[in-house]
Amino acid sequence: MSKTLEEKPLEQMVISAQNGDTAVQNYLLKSYQPFIAKCVSEVCKRYINPKMDDEFSVGLSAFNEALFSYSPERGNAFLPFAKLVIKRKVIDYIRANQKAIKAVSLDESYDEVQMENPIEIHVAREKYQEKQNNSLLRDEILEFKEKLKEYKLSLYELTEISPKHRDARESAIHTARVLYEDEVLREYVYQKKKLPIKNLNKKVDVSKKTLERNRKFILAIFIVLSEDFIYLKDYLKGVGQ
């Protein structure tokens, strides 16, 4: 049975699992444990033992969640999607369980065991968390750059064409939210990789000319909204709503 499953495309197996094939689901959960451990390790910045580390259990549960929330219509491959879900869940776990943070990395010479001053321990933890967050933000930006390529966009280009005025920027972000929240328009973008200018114009109080001018920026914000970008989405909180 395993050999038969190995011959199937991964995305096809994911769909089978979603349709209730528990044999396929169990096969994927077992076969992709090294992948899950690697994703968790990238967040925790240390070796992850699947049999001993609680973070691995969180990652395994997240992988299973990704199996059932994945949608091929969105244009993503499954593994990059699963990686983002795993990282998000492990980050949430670490934040909710600060005691899981052992110490900062050895190269910075912090050792919580040797610290008796609670202020030093707090500072060490803060630096450790900051380092983690910066690393994960870099990962998200790399993922974002790859996703932009699918829409024939680039990060450099966005810095050039982003609306300069705050009101115009917020209006464009609001338009991207309207676009993402409308199922029909959302599917159009996933399929065509471009804005449905005519139909979108009917949904927002923005001129067609303005939509054309800001279409690349709107598409970029749409991408952020439609992916599991934890940190990039933080920049959009409360904007254009």
Rounded-to-integer distance, Cα 153 and Cα 132, Å = 28
Residue 138 DSSP SS3: helix
Q: What residues contact 48, with CB distance under 8 A and at least 6 apart?
A: 37, 40, 41, 55, 56, 59
Q: Could you list the pLDDT tens digit for every one of the 241 residues in the chain?
A: 445 666 688 888 999 998 989 999 999 999 999 999 999 988 888 888 888 888 999 999 999 999 988 887 766 688 888 988 898 888 888 877 755 444 444 344 444 444 445 555 455 555 555 665 666 677 778 888 888 898 999 888 888 888 888 888 899 999 999 999 999 999 999 999 999 999 999 998 889 999 999 999 999 999 988 887 777 877 776 665 5
pTM above 0.85, yes or no: no
Q: What angle do CA 49, 54, 60 make, to 5 degrees?
A: 80
